[in-house]
Amino acid sequence: MTAPTPVDFQVAGDIPAFSGLKLQALSVLLAGASVFNLRPGHALFRQGEPAHAFFVIIDGWIKIYRVTPAGDEAVLNVLTKGESFAEAVTFTSGCYPATASAVTPARVMLIPADHVINCIRDTPDIAIAMIASTSQHLHRMVQQIEQLVAQSATQRVAEFLASLADRTRGPCTITLPYEKSLIAGRLGLKPESLSRVFAKLRTVGVDVRASRVVVRDMAQLCKLVACDRISARCPLKPRMPCPEPAVPQVVQSEMNP
């Protein structure tokens, strides 16, 4: 555990939970912060432990997951630089509902719950910012549930790849940020299902080479995210109009596995 650097404070100051806070209030709130450097696999906290802080990711990737009664991991989210988590338990003095562990080498800021509560008593605006951040997390969770229910496996993978790209048209090379088994869990897929989707995406110019993904045309990949016609559940009856179809091979492969 170390003291935050000026760069750490700058990253933390830009997170949604602190948006709108005046500089003085932000400085007081972050005065109680400390920073951890984590190795891959190191747990910040475990499911069921008393909640004593919330966290801001300064660098790296953090996995949030629950352990099922059967002992399996159910991945709830994978977060990265500039994102915060566990704000809600700061107010309840309850227990962490999930486990958080580093996926890659990571740097994470810890802000003690009791310090946050003391700051809120003096500066109510901090409470408003924290509630807004919690609401954003809830909204994202609803979006993830909608994605799992309404999108096909191919759409989910296409959307994930598109979110990592730095452009929406033309050729692009994407580096997968963490291992494929975790990507599968994050998207609600089995590893073997993810492999099958990667194979299908080759027909539209997406070539997965270990942790590197070469996309011939990002516009083509983005069409898959918006188009329901590739859904294996109802390949002939899309629920919404699609862009001009350019992926007949994907349709044919899903209709005739």
Q: Which of 54-68, 138-152, 196-210, 234-248 has the lowest mean pLDDT?
A: 234-248
Which secondary structure element, helix H or strand E, spans residue 89, and what is its range?
helix 88-92
63 pLDDT above the threshold of 60? yes
Nearest alpha-carbon partner for 57 in 92, 23, 17: 17
Average pLDDT, the chain: 82
Q: Which of 124-128, 163-167, 184-188, 189-193 has the lowest mean pLDDT?
A: 124-128
Query: Cβ(153)–Cβ(193) under 8 Å?
Result: yes
Residue 235: the pLDDT is 35
How distant, in Å, are the alpha carbons of 48, 143, 248 from that of 22?
34, 30, 54
Residue 237: the pLDDT is 35
Could you tell me the pLDDT band of residue 73, with boundaries at 50, 70 and 90?
Answer: confident
Summarised one tens digit per residue, pLDDT across range 225-237 is 877 444 433 333 3
Higher local confidence (pLDDT), 160 or 250: 160
Residue 208: the pLDDT is 93
Which secondary structure element, helix H or strand E, spans residue 23, and what is its range?
helix 23-30
Residue 229: the pLDDT is 45
Summarised one tens digit per residue, pLDDT across range 146-156 is 666 678 899 99
Residue 137: the pLDDT is 67
CATH topology of domain 151-255: Arc Repressor Mutant, subunit A (1.10.10)
What is the value of pTM for the model shown? 0.75
Residue 228: the pLDDT is 45
How distant, in Å, are the alpha carbons of 2, 43, 180, 194, 211 from that of 175?
30, 25, 11, 16, 6
Could you tell me the pLDDT band of residue 256, with boundaries at 50, 70 and 90?
Answer: very low
Which option is the CATH number for 6-148: 2.170.120.40, 3.40.640.10, 2.60.120.10, 3.30.70.360? 2.60.120.10
How distant, in Å, are the alpha carbons of 4, 13, 18, 63, 196 from that of 10?
10, 5, 11, 23, 42
Q: Where are the domains of the chain?
A: 6-148, 151-255
Residue 213: the pLDDT is 95
Residue 162: the pLDDT is 92
248 pLDDT above the threshold of 70? no
